[in-house]
Structure 1
């Protein structure tokens, strides 16, 4: 076994052991001896790094800059950091919807415990998947949970400089994709029926339905909308991030024309707003609780429309635009979808508002009752 430079081995432990140059004796004493590790490879790595630090300290013979040798060696050792701590750091840096990763993290920690990030194994990851399966989660949900945890661990391993395989990497989920189903869609008659019920109701949450159905917005985009985002003078709404809620992607920021039932619902919602947010009941402590609005709205929709949900409205709008042969990149621009039509569609500034308004008006459901005429003309 070859000797490790500047070390001695005593009682199962490797020590850094080196004579100090004459010009640095006053600062360090004649010898430096410091425990490194019981593991030979680890001790060799620490000795090389400490050697570099010390030589940097006393390289200038006229001015020796002292270092705390014990603290330096301690800094070489891998830090023990809990998964929950790394998750908080990761989430504080990422501009993403924090609900999915937090749900995944909570379930995993309850199952495998909050341990040092380096301790989790492939068996922990497989146990998590089995747990989700037994809970009845669909495979798409399971994949989202796995991907969330994988991203947190990738961040942790990178930040802590750990050479370790991510236990969630390339994890197979049995029957993945086989339990998917096509979402149902509203008929035009169901849409008009729902819009009329929403406008005649005293429930503010029901007003979200016509706004979603006639703009194609995501629910959180509407629930977290500020009053300043609404321009009734020009019949426009601005979908943009604010303090209470982020947007899903960079493509999500957009301006949309406001017509028909969507305009009527917004006018009524504005009358019940607090002057800052359109739906203030879902803004608490500066955060948008879109999930609460989703639960309330879906409870009504599922009951009255055979299990259909708010997200089905977004699917329906895309189908309606396809039916009138609206260009696919225009559809993506209206819905804030990431376009998959190639690099070219990302060049330029997109379609003009008048063009977008033309397509929205073509699919808009006509407002039948005369009692709405004054509001639409306002």
Structure 2
């Protein structure tokens, strides 16, 4: 089945689009060429069928065109007829220019022959209907239709290569995102890149894929309103997403000296009632801590051990998961303790997160039982030098809820509960802040034997906490 899309003064015909029985959505359906079928062993009927996830004909044609380009590029690589391009759109565009003997900036009159060869090769790669439509647009001197057709049929990196060579290239939001992630070495890091991709998806969906200087002040506020009212995000989540956009725009425009786009409007925006919709995180009650300790004492496996360490130290999930036996000190002394500092596996949230924490109770018992390199090896990826803290958090949540019920606090509440326990043990505020990594400065004795022994005594007192300060708010 084919569909047609009417552009100005020309018509685009799109193949491989169909509908299936019982659905109003369009699908992309295409037979796999015989010479590449062996690379798709799971496609028993030798066909590719993908939902285009839209009922709109124009959207379906555009998405189908993208699928066609992707599959044909993939098959060209399989056949050995095309290079494998990796990296951002800008990286790919630069690679295209280099392979065609063109400079990585605006071409000079000495490069016109190479440019003609380059554009001729692009023209040859287009389907006949596209060539006919482009010829008609050219004969009519219709630049708008020409640009629409090129945007429809060419890959983003091909369009970028043309713009660079023409001296008209600007970085739109989508390209800035990829450049920022590449510069931060986060392209393949889903945890680091995820918040940025979510933020930019909202930006492009609501305001379009434009250069930073083109977004007006009122549009930035429209995006904030959309995130709150349509996406249902909390205001602090909106703040983080807007911060991702600001960081990427500011970093890339400064790095590449894009002076016009440095003056973007993703600074100084207003998020109405910021923080007012935050939900207080519940503390654990004394009874819940007793129930957890009882369960841990019966069966102290790795997950219960991790819960014990978080419960009796106030460590964050990521901090607990990253602990190694090298972080353990003084097991043969009166006051064993853990050190928390930056390592290739551990990126501390703040500088004040560097701390010395005595081991007490079941946390100490678990650490004494460890014989390997890591305290919680299942959450360490040594090859990638990554801590799988999300997995640790999910496992702890599941284990806690299995004992205390679905409405129980999560492991993130151990920190706030520890703050309450230390306060009720009459631990001085500056020492509480040191132990929990909230202090901007530390005492001269920080980490000394006397410092460790004093903190250990306060932590030992928290083991008998009766919940007298539970959910209390300081004035």
State the TM-score, normalizing by the size of structure 2. Answer: 0.53
Question: In the TM superposition, what whole-angstrom CA distance separates every residue of 1:105-150 from its partner, at most 9, and x where no partner exists?
Answer: 2113334179565366243673365145433322112211211221
Residues 349, 145 of structure 1: alpha-carbon distance in 2 compared, 3 angstrom cutoff: farther
User: For residues 120 and 163 of structure 1, do their structure 2 counterparts lie closer, same or farther at Cα, with a shift above 3 Å needed?
Assistant: closer
Task: Report the equivalent of 1:354.
Answer: 450
- 1:288 equivalent to 2:387? Answer yes
- After superposition, what is the alpha-carbon deviation per residue over 1:183-203, rounded to whole angstroms, capped at 9, x for unaligned? 211122321221221232364
Task: Map Cα deviations across residues 137-184 of structure 1 (whole Å, 9 max, x no partner).
Answer: 221122112112212211122222223433322222334222122221
User: 3-state DSSP class of the match of 1:179?
Assistant: coil
1:185 & 1:356 partners in 2: Cα distance?
A: 26
**Helix, strand or coil: the match of 1:237?**
strand
Counterpart check, 1:134 vs 2:230? yes
- The change in CA–CA distance for 1:178 and 1:89 in structure 2 (over 3 A counts) is same
Deviations 1:306-338 (A, max 9, x none): 330112111111112122332222112111213
1:209, CA displacement in angstroms? 1.6
Residue 333 of structure 1 pairs with residue 431 of structure 2? no
Per-residue CA shift, 1:331-358, capped at 9, x if unaligned?
121112133xxxxx45745363433433
Distance 1:210 1:120, change over 3 A: farther
Equivalent position to 1:83, from 173, 176, 195? 176
Q: What residue number does 2:275 align with?
A: 177
5+ residue gaps, structure 2: 1-107, 111-163, 465-475
| CA distance in 1 between partners of 2:224 and 2:191 (Å) | 15
Task: Measure the CA separation in 2 of the matches of 1:100 and 1:167.
Answer: 27
Alignment of 1:7-156 (within 5 A): 80=171, 82-92=175-185, 102-111=193-202, 112=204, 115=209, 117-118=211-212, 121-122=215-216, 123=219, 126-127=222-223, 130-131=226-227, 133-156=229-252
Kindly state the Cα deviation for residue 293 of structure 1 after the two structures are TM-superposed: 0.7
CA distance in 2, matches of 1:100, 1:132: 23
Are the equivalent residues in 2 in contact too, given 1:330–1:351 (CA < 8 A)?
A: no
**Alignment equivalent of 1:158, drawn from 235, 254, 269:** 254
Match of 1:243 in 2: 344
Contact 1:100–1:144, Cα closer than 8 Å, also in 2: no
Cα distance, 1:278–1:363 mapped onto 2, change above 3 Å: closer
Cα distance, 1:220 vs. partner? 0.8
Counterparts in 2 of 1:132 and 1:201: CA distance versus 1, 3 Å: farther
What is the distance in 2 between the residues matched to 1:136 and 1:307?
24
Contact 1:247 1:253 in 2 (8 A): yes
| Secondary structure of the corresponding residue to residue 106 of structure 1 | helix
- Structure 1 counterpart of 2:332: 233
* TM-score, length of structure 1 as denominator length: 0.65
- The structure-2 alpha-carbon separation of the partners of 1:152 and 1:233, relative to structure 1 and needing over 3 Å to count, comes to farther
3-state secondary structure, aligned to 1:183: coil
CA contact (8 A) 2:224 2:238 kept: no
> Match of 2:270, SS?
coil
Please list the CA deviations of residues 26-56 of structure 1 after superposition, one character each: whole Å capped at 9, or x if unmatched: xxxxxxx989xxxxxxxxxxxxxxxxxxxxx
- The answer (yes or no) to whether the contact 1:321–1:331 under 8 Å persists in 2 is yes
Q: Distance in 1 between matches of 2:166 and 2:421?
A: 61
SS at match of 2:260: coil
Change (3 A) 1:141 1:299: farther
User: What SS does the aligned partner of 1:163 have?
Assistant: helix
Q: Secondary structure at the match of 2:184?
A: helix
CA RMSD of aligned residues (A): 3.3
